[in-house]
Each structure stands twice: as structure tokens, then as C-alpha cells.
Structure 1
């Protein structure tokens, strides 16, 4: 899957091709921008998309094309943080439901320690999500460890793009 990052904030994608085509286009000086396979992505381009495009991308008419394997790891930390926040809210709301309190009380009566085990499971889920976030942060940092291409920065600015700070 490839992404096409544009200075207007537009993000397009195609699932029909991958890094192999990007490498071929790079080797043969082909422009992937005018291709008719691009579809609008479900979200706009963001600074992280630009950061990886300036490291791994290929200049194209109107923007930079970059393989999804560089874009996805950059999005994962925010997605996991949102999931962890949502999990905390949902868990707290669930624990406050009268029906749940009644069942928890009953189960605690049947098997003392049930409520504590249930809370341990909740803590385990939260800790697992935090570990996943740390791992995702490391993967994103690895993506940004590659050097920025001066040629891609120049191209990005020529097509009207603003270079993110920090880069």
C-alpha cells in the first residue's frame, strides 16, 4: 500500500501497489503522482506523514509518495493512546453500572476475592496497553532515525509544503 502526501493536507492511498513499484519508479525516474489509482484517505495528512515522506518517499507531481510501512508505525502510538483512554473510560463506566455492581457483589459472595481478581484483570489490560504504546513509540522513533533527504525537502517546499518542526 502506498500513500500520496500532498501539501494541501490531502492524503491519498492505493492498496494495489507497494514498495516494489516505488522502487521501480525511483530506479526508472517515473512520476507516480498522475496515476489514476489514488483514492482519498479517511483522514488528512499530518506532520508525521510528512516526516516519514521526507525520509523514505519519492517526489511526485503535487507531493510525495511513500510506502505504508513507514506511515503506519507513525500513526500507531496515537491510535493506541486513544484506545487506552477509551478503555479507561469504558471500564470506569462499566464498573459503575448498577447491574454490574449487583453481579459483582453476588460473585464476591460466592467466591471471595472475585472483585480483586476482576480489578487485577483491568489493571493488566491497562498495563498491556501502556506496554504497547511504549513499543509503538520506539517503532515510530526508529522510523524517524533515518536521515532526511535534502532533495525531498526541496521538492516538498517547491510544491508548497511546509516542513514540520521538529523534522
Structure 2
């Protein structure tokens, strides 16, 4: 999967293998802006996406193309954060009183399990945040920064 980040603050995607981007980067053709791009639904324009694009992207006539794998640290963090917003409450199921009668201690064990799941989610979010920070600590590619500016893009702060 490839993503096209444009200075007009849009992110589009196309379901093509990464090697298309590699070939375009190596030979300068085709202009990847000509691919059949569609709007991204899972996340929108975000400064972190631009920051990653400035490190790992490939310039095209309308923006910077990024391989899906280069956005994984960001998208996984978004996914885990979204999951963590809704606390797990496994004891709030239909017939919970029946379960407690059949298996005394079921409600308490369910609460304990919910706490373990929440702790695991927090730990995973911390790990993913560290992975993302590691990627963002890598240097930007000066040519991509200049390309972004030339297209009228605003550089994020921090870059």
C-alpha cells in the first residue's frame, strides 16, 4: 500500500506493492501522482505523517509518496489508542448473574482480567510510542524537505 501526502493537507492511498515506489524512485518514472489515488479513511492529514514522509518518502509532482510500512509506527499507535479509549468490561455481559452463580468469583476474575488487558494496552501504547519516536529521531532527507517547501507545504514543528 502506498500513501500520497499532499501540501493541501490531504492523504490518499492506492493499493499497490511497495516495489512500484522503489521503481519510480530509481528511474524517476512514472510520476506516482498519476496513480489512481483515493482518500484515506483510517487516518487523516497529521503532522506526524508529514514528519515520516520527510524521512522515508519519495517525491512526486503533487506531494510525497510513502510506503505503508513506513507509516506503521504511527497507524498502530492510533489503533491502540482508539482501542484504549473504550475500557474493556467483560463482566458487563448478558446473564452475568447466571455466570456468577455457575462459577462463583466470575465477576471478580473478569474485573481482574479487564485490569490486565488495560495494563497491557498501556504498555503496548508506550512501546509503540517509543518505536514512533525512534523513527522520528532519524534525520530528514534534505531533498524531501525542499520538495515539500517547493510544493507550498508547511513544515511541521518539530520537523
Task: Give the TM-score normalised by the residue count of structure 2.
Answer: 0.86
Separation in structure 1 between the aligned mates of residue 66 and residue 35 of structure 2, nearest angstrom: 16
Q: Radius of gyration: which is bigger?
A: 1
Partner SS state of residue 135, structure 2: helix
Long gaps (5+) in structure 1: none
Superposed displacement of residue 131, structure 1? 2.1
Partner SS state of residue 34, structure 2: coil
Work out which of the residue numbers 126, 129, 138 in structure 1 matches 2:121: 129
Alignment partner, residue 120 of structure 1:
112
Superposed displacement of residue 156, structure 1? 0.4
Alignment partner, residue 35 of structure 2:
36
The two structures, once aligned, show a CA RMSD in angstroms of 2.2
Separation in structure 2 between the aligned mates of residue 124 and residue 107 of structure 1, nearest angstrom: 20
Alignment partner, residue 58 of structure 2:
58
Task: Give the TM-score normalised by the residue count of structure 1.
Answer: 0.82
**Aligned residues, how many?**
158
